[in-house]
Structure 1
Amino acid sequence: MELRQLATFIRVAQFKSFSRAAESLGYSQSAVTVQIRQLEEELDTRLFDRMGKRIALTDTGERFLSHACDVMNQVNQARMSVTSTAELHGSLHIGTIESLACLKLPTVLHLYRKFNPKVSIRITVGEPEDLIEHMERGELDMIYVLDEPLYSNNWNKLMEQREEIVFVASASLREELGGKELTIEELLTQPFFLTEQDNYRRVLNRRLAARRTILTPSLECGDTSLLIRMLEIDRGVSFLPWYAVENSVKEGRLIRLSVEDCYISLYRQIFSHKEKWRTREMDEFVRVAKLADEEE
């Protein structure tokens, strides 16, 4: 049994396709087919069911996949133990959401590039569901999202950091709304500037639905920075991560509101797929992300 056969088996299981696995590995499809056949012959078992052009892991293949991933991760750790002092020069493809990309990621990337100037970094911005799908298909090394705690037997959770989601308002509403605890019903009399269907927007919608209330925003936008700017120059209310509005509140451009029975937190989380080879570049990103939090 060879390591390259295990790596090929993991990639075929990940893509559920011999041709896509071959393309991602830079092999011919026939080479992938031969490697899988040799592995099955050595193990004296069938790892995949072939159904026309579709394939699926057998029960035996499912069990073997878990062990194969463990072996490859151990090999990677062994390699890293003797190369940990070498300068990083590989690549890193990270998927993230818009608010993190604009407001958290720049500091992390600055530190990362300071320590590892030769690493090639690619950032893809999208909705969490899409990012998870790309990670599942092996198209992203890692994802960095803000959500309720997520779990999957297929993922490694590499970081989790709590973030408050808060109501804020334009400074011009200070006398009307500031310095007192408000009800949701009182707040809904104001124009709302909200993101499109981000996870924190969905959490808010669920809270409102439980009260049999529907919110129709005056302004919807996928750009968090634009929403904050509109709040600073107009009169309105929004519901955003604290990290997005903290500076504006501290500098008096926005006010933070206290709303009864509506204290909500989500979590910044970094994941990789368990079938993904954990590189030093990936581990370094997690280290630097945690360091950036400590420095704030």
Structure 2
Amino acid sequence: MELRQLKTFHTLASTLNFSRAAEAQNYVPSTITMQMKALEDELGVKLVDRMGKKVALTDAGRSFLAYVDHILSDLEEAQHAVKQTGEMTGTLTISADDTLCTYRIPAVLKRFRLRYPGVRLMFRPLSEPNLKQSLREGSADIIFVLDEIKGEAGLCGEKVLDETFYLLVAPEHRLASQTALTVEDFNGETFLLTEQGCSYRMFFERSLSQKAMGSITELEFNSAEAIKQCAKMGMGIAILPEMAVAAEVNRGELIPLPWDLTAVSFATQMFWHEEKWISPAIDAFINLTRETFSNHLPDCGE
């Protein structure tokens, strides 16, 4: 059912004449006939009785007209409101994991709210394993993930920022003064890690096992902030992105260990479903994200 068909029906119901309805809509009479036939076929009822050039509404037509009146009235009011305010409207749902919720996304959310106050912005934090599924299920419009740079079937996305990771300890930790480390240096140590399924945790554990690391103790957290605070208290070795610890490193509260974590490139990435209609609000958020991090952004698809 198309809006133009509703407008045609409304005009025909007002004029009760195919020729006058065609003239009012700037159509030829045959176009009015085709649109009415398509509308009646879709509804499965006759809306008008044809008597030459004149028409009369059926009972179904009179009932339908009341709803069409409301639809067109609401549309006119909506168009007037938008033209009067120039304000974008709609609802937008954004999701990201705990780390990005804390250290990357707030800057974009703040700018978006200031620029587009008419858009209802909903933010739903999710664990990393559930983020991409939320796009596929339609419960999120845009997600941000901290992951290896790779394509994802069915999703469109791009890199927002490259991210650097560190192994970190408190200044008094026995490894804090080391200028070089081997796998054996980690034997018996406690590692403060994110939850199972986190991409950079899995990469780190793979890299250690490949180098035949001995036994370690793992403490698992669902918050980067909790890991950071425990590391500052000397409870173990943390693996965290630079964005989460830059201030603490600058103040000397955490010491980066000389351990290479650059074998895989990690980045903050933005994704949306490739088959989803890109509404004005979604398009505006994507572009504002690019603008916010414009000094670092690649072209889409890189």
Decide: shared fold, TM above 0.5: yes
TM-score (norm 1): 0.65
Distance 1:91 1:228 in 2: 34
Query: In structure 2, what is the equivalent of residue 279 of structure 1?
Result: 279
For 1:182, what is the secondary structure of its paired residue? coil
Query: In structure 2, what is the equivalent of residue 292 of structure 1?
Result: 292
Query: In structure 1, what is the equivalent of residue 111 of structure 2?
Result: 111
For 1:289, what is the secondary structure of its paired residue? helix
Query: In structure 2, what is the equivalent of residue 18 of structure 1?
Result: none
For 1:172, what is the secondary structure of its paired residue? coil
Query: Within 5 A, what are the aligned runs for 1:224-243?
Result: 224-243=224-243
Query: In structure 2, what is the equivalent of residue 146 of structure 1?
Result: 146
Residue type at the aligned position of 1:157 = G
CA, structure 1 residues 185+160, in 2 after alignment: closer, same or farther (shift >3 Å)? farther
Contact 1:191 1:218 in 2 (8 A): yes
Higher RCO (C-alpha 8 Å, min separation 6) = 1
Contact 1:141 1:282 in 2 (8 A): yes
Cα drift, residue 92 of structure 1 = 0.8
Cα drift, residue 269 of structure 1 = 0.9
For 2:265, what is the secondary structure of its paired residue? strand
Query: In structure 2, what is the equivalent of residue 99 of structure 1?
Result: 99
Structure 2 gaps of 5+ residues are 4-38, 43-82, 297-302
CA, structure 1 residues 123+282, in 2 after alignment: closer, same or farther (shift >3 Å)? same
Distance 1:194 1:246 in 2: 18
Query: In structure 2, what is the equivalent of residue 136 of structure 1?
Result: 136
Query: In structure 2, what is the equivalent of residue 192 of structure 1?
Result: 191
Deviations, residues 90-142 of structure 1 (Å, cap 9, x unaligned): 21101211111122112221222122222211122223332212211222111
Indicate the larger mover: 275-284 or 177-186: 177-186
Deviations, residues 249-279 of structure 1 (Å, cap 9, x unaligned): 1121111111157654312111111111112
Supply the RMSD in Å over aligned alpha carbons.
3.1
Q: Which runs of 4 or more aligned residues in structure 1 lie more than 6 Å from their structure 2 counterparts after TM superposition?
A: none
Query: In structure 2, what is the equivalent of residue 247 of structure 1?
Result: 247
CA, structure 1 residues 222+255, in 2 after alignment: closer, same or farther (shift >3 Å)? same
Cα drift, residue 240 of structure 1 = 1.1
Structure 1 gaps of 5+ residues are 4-34, 39-82
Residue type at the aligned position of 1:238 = A
CA, structure 1 residues 274+224, in 2 after alignment: closer, same or farther (shift >3 Å)? same
Deviations, residues 200-234 of structure 1 (Å, cap 9, x unaligned): 11111111222233664342110111111111223
Distance 1:208 1:166 in 2: 15
Cα drift, residue 186 of structure 1 = 1.1
Query: In structure 2, what is the equivalent of residue 182 of structure 1?
Result: 181
Contact 1:221 1:227 in 2 (8 A): yes
Query: In structure 1, what is the equivalent of residue 162 of structure 2?
Result: 162
CA, structure 1 residues 227+260, in 2 after alignment: closer, same or farther (shift >3 Å)? closer
CA, structure 1 residues 166+228, in 2 after alignment: closer, same or farther (shift >3 Å)? same
Indicate the larger mover: 210-219 or 162-171: 210-219
Contact 2:97 2:125 in 1 (8 A): yes
CA, structure 1 residues 178+289, in 2 after alignment: closer, same or farther (shift >3 Å)? farther
Indicate the larger mover: 260-269 or 227-236: 260-269
Query: Within 5 A, what are the aligned runs for 1:197-212?
Result: 197=196, 198-212=198-212
Contact 2:169 2:234 in 1 (8 A): no
For 1:102, what is the secondary structure of its paired residue? helix
Distance 2:187 2:263 in 1: 16
Contact 2:186 2:213 in 1 (8 A): no
For 2:130, what is the secondary structure of its paired residue? helix
Aligned positions, number: 220
Residue type at the aligned position of 2:205 = N
Residue type at the aligned position of 2:150 = L
Query: In structure 2, what is the equivalent of residue 270 of structure 1?
Result: 270
Distance 2:247 2:212 in 1: 34
Deviations, residues 53-104 of structure 1 (Å, cap 9, x unaligned): xxxxxxxxxxxxxxxxxxxxxxxxxxxxxx9x94222211012111111221
Contact 1:195 1:221 in 2 (8 A): yes
For 2:172, what is the secondary structure of its paired residue? helix
Indicate the larger mover: 218-227 or 185-194: 185-194
Distance 1:126 1:105 in 2: 13
TM-score (norm 2): 0.64
Deviations, residues 130-155 of structure 1 (Å, cap 9, x unaligned): 22122112221111101112313422
Contact 1:182 1:258 in 2 (8 A): yes
